[in-house]
Amino acid sequence: MTSSRRITEVQERDDKEESYFDKMAQSLESEDIIDQDLYSKFNVKRGLRNANGTGVLVGLTRIGNVHGYEKGPNDEKVPVRGELRYRGYEIQDLVGNYIKEERFGFEEITYLLMFGELPTKEQLVEFQSMIGERRELPEGFARNMIMTQPSRSIMNKIQRSILALYSYDDNPDDISPSNVIRQEMNLIGYFPAIIAYCYQAKSLFFDNQSMHLHLPIPELGTAENILRMLRPTGEFDPLEARVLDLTLILQAEHGGGNNSAFTTYLLSSSATDTYSVLSAAVGSLKGPRHGGANIAVIRMIEDLKANVHDITDRKEVDRYLMKVLNKEANDHSGLIYGIGHAVYTLSDPRAEILKDMARKLALEKGMEDDFGLCEYIAERGPQLCAERTGVEKAMCANVDLYSGLVYEALNIPNDMCTPLFATARLSGWCAHRLEEIITGKKLIRPSYKGVQDPRDYIPLDEREETVPSASLMDPGNRTPVLKK
C-alpha cells in the first residue's frame, strides 16, 4: 500500500469517527437537557448554591474561613469588607508579621493549617527539617514517571505523578492520621521538584526549549526551591523569593467550600487513599472556573496589550474593556477576568495584600505602567459592568488580577501559574483531608432526583433511529443533513 493511499484511508477513518462523535454529541444536546422549571419545582440548589448566590451549607471546618457578605432581612446579600482567616488568624496579621520580620512563612502556614496551632521555634525548625529531607523525589521517579512520559498539560502530569507515588509507598492505603500525615509531608516536600520537572519536560518535548534540571536543596524553603529549579541558572534574589513565598501563603487555603477543597472532603469521605484524593484535588483546580482562572487574567492582559496602542491611555483601555463586556474582544465570554468573586463583595483581602506586593515588585522591575493598568482595571471594571448591565453590584478585584503581574515580574512562565496555585493549596487540602478523616466519618452522598419519564422497552427490530446517522452528516461543517 502506498503511503499516500494510507494517508487517505486514515483521513477518511478520522472523518468518519469525527462525524460519529459529533452526531452522538448532538443527540445529547436534546436528550440531556432538563427543563429549567424543574429545578425550582423541586427546590434544587444548582451548583450547591442558594437562589441569592450564596453557598449551601454542607459542612463545618476549623481550618479556614472566608467572609464577604452578611445576610439581610430578606435573605439578600449585604456587602461587607472581605475577611480571610487561617485557623482563626487574620491573613493580614500573618502576612504582615512575615513582612515585618523579613522571613519566609509558607512552611509555618502549612504547619498551622495541618496541625491547628502556630509552631514554636523548635517545632518550626523540626517541621522544616522534615520537609527538607523530603525534597528529593524517590530514586528513578523523575526519569521514569516524568521525563519518559511528558504531557502538554503540566497540571495533568502533576496528577499522574501524585498517583504514581502510590506505587512507591509501602503502606499506601492506611488512612490512620499518622500515616496520612507521613504521606502528606512527603508530597509537600516533593512538590517543588514535581512541578519544576513537569515544566522542564514539557518545555523540551512540546516547546522545543532547552531543559535545565537542578536538584532541590533541603535547606531552602518551598519558594526558593521553586525559583531555583525553574530558572536555567538556578539564581534568584531575596526579594523575588519572599514575594513568591507570600503569594503561596495567600493561596494556601480558602475555606472548605471551594471546589478543590470540597473535592478533597468528598473523596476522603469514601476512605480512599491519599494519592487518589490529592490528585483529584489537582484535577479540580485545573478547571478554568477554579484555579485555572489565573491564566484567564494573564491572557486577557496580553490581548489588551496587543490591541491597545498605549496602555496608559485610559480612554483606549475603557474602549477595550467595553468590547470585552460586549463579547467583542478577548475570548468573547463577556467577562473582565480578575473582577468579581463568589464570596467577596467590597474587597478581597488577598488582592489587597498582593497589590502592595505587586507595586513594590513593579517599581524594582520597571513595570510601573503594568501595575497602573491592573490598578485601573480594578477601579474601572466594576463601573463599566454597571454601565453595561444597568445594575449596581458590589464587585471587587480578586487575587487573580494581581497574581499575573507578580508572576510576570518574577519571570514565571504562564504554564506554571496554576501549578504554583496547586503547590500553595496543597497545604489546605492536606489539612481538610485530615479533618475529614478525624471528624467526618460519613460518606458524602448528596441526592439527585430522577426526572426522566418512565418508558417501555422496545424490541431491537422495532426501534426507530432518533439521531441522524453518520452518513447524513455534512463533513464540511459537521451539521446534520435532514431528510426530506
CATH number where 105 lies: 1.10.580.10
Neighbours of 180 (CB within 10 A): 20
CATH number where 302 lies: 1.10.230.10
Region 205-217: mean pLDDT is 94
> Who contacts 168 (Cβ-Cβ below 8 Å, separation ≥6)?
138, 141
Decide if pLDDT at 477 tops 50.
Answer: no
**Angle 262-267-268 (CA atoms, 0-180°, nearest 5)?**
95
What the block records as the C-alpha cell of 27 is: 443527540
Q: Are residues 149 and 209 in the same domain?
A: yes
Hey, which of 329-343, 398-412, 424-438, 464-478 has the most confident mean pLDDT? 424-438
Asked whether residue 54 is assigned to any structural domain, the reply reads no
Asked whether residue 379 is assigned to any structural domain, the reply reads yes
Is pTM, for the whole model, over 0.85? yes
Q: Are residues 195 and 258 in the same domain?
A: yes
* Mean of the per-residue pLDDT values of the chain: 92
Asked whether residue 375 is assigned to any structural domain, the reply reads yes
Q: Among candidates 289, 417, 403, 415, which has minimal Cα distance to 354?
A: 403
Q: At 55, is the secondary structure helix, strand, or coil? A: strand
Hey, which of 66-75, 254-263, 284-293 has the most confident mean pLDDT? 254-263
What are the backbone dihedrals phi and psi of residue 480, each rounded to the nearest 5 degrees, phi first? -70, 145
Q: At 67, is the secondary structure helix, strand, or coil? A: strand
Decide if pLDDT at 472 tops 50.
Answer: no
Asked whether residue 264 is assigned to any structural domain, the reply reads yes
**pLDDT for position 87:** 98
Q: Are residues 390 and 253 in the same domain?
A: no
Decide if pLDDT at 355 tops 70.
Answer: yes
Asked whether residue 18 is assigned to any structural domain, the reply reads no
**pLDDT for position 28:** 86
**pLDDT for position 478:** 43
Asked whether residue 233 is assigned to any structural domain, the reply reads yes
Q: Among candidates 298, 321, 251, 285, which has minimal Cα distance to 401?
A: 298
Region 82-99: mean pLDDT is 97
Q: Please give the Cα distance from 140 to 165 (Å, whole number).
A: 12
Q: Are residues 223 and 117 in the same domain?
A: yes
Share of the chain above pLDDT 90, in %: 81
**pLDDT for position 55:** 87
Domain of residue 348, residue span: 294-409
Q: At 176, is the secondary structure helix, strand, or coil? A: coil
Decide if pLDDT at 467 tops 70.
Answer: no
Q: Are residues 222 and 78 in the same domain?
A: yes
Q: Please give the Cα distance from 145 to 13 (Å, whole number).
A: 33
Asked whether residue 20 is assigned to any structural domain, the reply reads no
Q: Are residues 129 and 269 in the same domain?
A: yes
Asked whether residue 55 is assigned to any structural domain, the reply reads no
Q: Are residues 204 and 87 in the same domain?
A: yes
**pLDDT for position 473:** 47
Determine the residue type at 423: T
Q: Are residues 231 and 324 in the same domain?
A: no
Q: Are residues 260 and 298 in the same domain?
A: no
Decide if pLDDT at 333 tops 50.
Answer: yes
Neighbours of 415 (CB within 10 A): 18
Count how many domains the chain has: 2
Distances in whole angstroms, Cα of residue 68 to Cα of each of 45, 79, 252: 20, 7, 18
> What would the pLDDT profile of 51-87 be if each residue is shown by its tens digit?
888 889 999 999 999 999 998 888 788 999 999 999 9
**Angle 177-178-180 (CA atoms, 0-180°, nearest 5)?**
65
| Element at 89 (helix H, strand E) | strand 89-90
- Tell me the pLDDT band of 152, cut-offs 50, 70 and 90: very high
Q: Are residues 273 and 381 in the same domain?
A: no
Q: Are residues 268 and 403 in the same domain?
A: no
Q: Are residues 278 and 304 in the same domain?
A: no
